[in-house]
A and B are shown apart, each in its own frame.
Chain A
Amino acid sequence: MSNNTTKLPDGVADSIKIEVAARKKESRQLLLISIISVAIFLFLWEFAVRIGWIDSKHLSAPTTIVETFIMKLSDPNPEGGVLGTHIATSLGLVLVGYGAAVVIGVPLGLLMGYYHTFDKLVSPIFEIVRPIPPIAWIPLSIIWLGIGTTAKAFIIFLAAFVPCVINSYTGVKLTPAVYLNVAKTSGASTWEMFWTVSKNYAMPLVFTGVQVALGNAWSTLVAAEMLAAIAGLGYMIQQGRLLARPDIIIVGMLTIGVIGAILTFLLSKLENHIVKWRSRS
């Protein structure tokens, strides 16, 4: 609770201080161990490539990857775009596909969970579509939408859509009857019961779904950008393969990883803000 300003006896305060210091020291040591292990790994990798244990056509040395990364910040060669362009293209694509999936999927799932008739109407179709992996939609998307941005965004949409719907649906379905009864006895209409109770109760699960969807969307990116593209991180990786440049591939892979992690982090910040009522036990 907010106002915990109770005065502690001196002895207790001291022992807390010692305890806190000891914990800090321990976490510093653990951090050091992690850094050392990564350093050793990178060193062995560098060493193995330098002395020729690993062919540099198969795997570039870490230093080469860093050089390529710095170069790609400004140089569009060899595959035709600077890193910033690739990132912008991919982010745009993911945000369109993913954004649409969240905006359509979450309300759809919530309403399916709440309104029985709506559930029966939509569920059968959804159940047929659900188990099909998003990548399997690529050929049809090309026929329907060509090979442009729309087709790629569509595939990302499909990848993100399913978890959004399922989690929202489940969240509403799990609403304990007692909360609904409180609303009902207070005189809430069916819609008010949904809006003030079920929707709120479902929020933590909705966010789990939205997180999973983001992971799906981002990981489908590479596949989606296999459709003819002229920029994008997936495109960059593909070109790296064609040009036999493992350094380009690895820079692309790491960028995808880092951006994915950043997006996940931002989303969990948003989640903590919106679902701040949830107990974190």
Chain B
Amino acid sequence: MENQEIKVQVNHLTKRFGDLLVLDDVSFNIKKGEFVCIVGPTGCGKTTFLNLLTRLIEPTEGEILIDGEPADPKKHSISFVFQEPSAFPWLTAQQNIEYGLKIKKRPAEEIAAQTEKIISLLGLEKYRHAYPHEMSVSMEQRVVIGRAFALNPDLLLMDEPYGQMDIKMRYYLEDEVVRLWKATGSTVLFITHNLEEATYLAERVLVLTNKPAKIKANIEVDLPRPRKVSDPEFIRIRKEITEMIKWW
């Protein structure tokens, strides 16, 4: 892992809304192909942080570099899986997955190949022509996640994508996201407030403080996959993170 190149560099990122300091001098790196989870208390400026990373808003100070260049959605591919359902209702499952690739004007063969790959990874062959209103919430979210992975993004941001799912569905989807991540080699930044989820998914967990958000700790999770929540080492790491945030 040490020799891997750095994909995303976040340098001294600061955001103020007027006098309100939301994000205070946050710096970290993400390696290519790494799966990083960010945990932080509700209202710690998490959304602001994500909006900065996707360039939906501009930082007050600091910079975000992807492959050494300032992040730009037009140049880089940054995918975002939002918390709320965001599959386009006027597109079928397949068309939703193709969407980003079409916007990026990738060649037709690549779009077809990549879409097929994602559809088969998700096991959505039967439902490729279904519209979101014909799907359950979890299936819609899977389509959205497929759409995000289809781009082979430089950076894939996920904002509590399983916040609305029940526990059984979560386990299933967490395994699925790991499968997609492995198959596409994407670099993933996954936000959650579920510490077990973070320990289960991440190679590294970044713990944020209360507002103004800073990075409080950086915890490596070097466990083999598939992970077991009952593994003593898993429990130790989860407890370590829990200790760190008891003071929220």
Contact = CB atoms under 8 A, between A and B. Distances in A.
Interface string A259-278: 00000000000000001111
Given A186-B79, A187-B103, A188-B103, A181 B56 contact: yes
Interface in B121-144: 126-127, 129-134
A230 B126 CA distance: 60
A67 interface: no
B36 interface: no
B149 to A, nearest CB: 13
A181 B80 contact: yes
B82 interface: yes
- B89, B131, B132, B151: residue with the most chain A Cβ atoms closer than 10 Å: B89
Contact of B131 (A179, A183, A192, A277): A277
A34 interface: no
B70 interface: no
A201 B91 CA distance: 10
A192 B91 contact: no
Nearest to A2: B129
B182 interface: no
Contacts of A203: 90
Chain B interface size, as a band, is: 20 to 34
B90 A200 contact: yes
A277 B89 contact: yes
B133 A279 contact: yes
Interface string A223-246: 000000000000000000000000
Contact of B133 (A181, A182, A192, A277): A277
A23 interface: no
Contacts of A276: 131
A74 interface: no
B103 A186 contact: yes
A184 B56 contact: yes
B111 to A, nearest CB: 13
A197 B91 CA distance: 10
A100 B169 CA distance: 52
B198 to A, nearest CB: 23
A185 interface: yes
Contact of A185 (B79, B89, B131, B133): B79
A197 B88 contact: yes
B234 interface: no
A188 B100 CA distance: 9
Contacts of B103: 183, 186-188, 192, 196
The 9 A-B pairs with the shortest beta carbon distances in the complex, nearest first, are: A279-B133, A186-B100, A200-B90, A185-B80, A277-B90, A277-B131, A187-B73, A186-B103, A185-B54
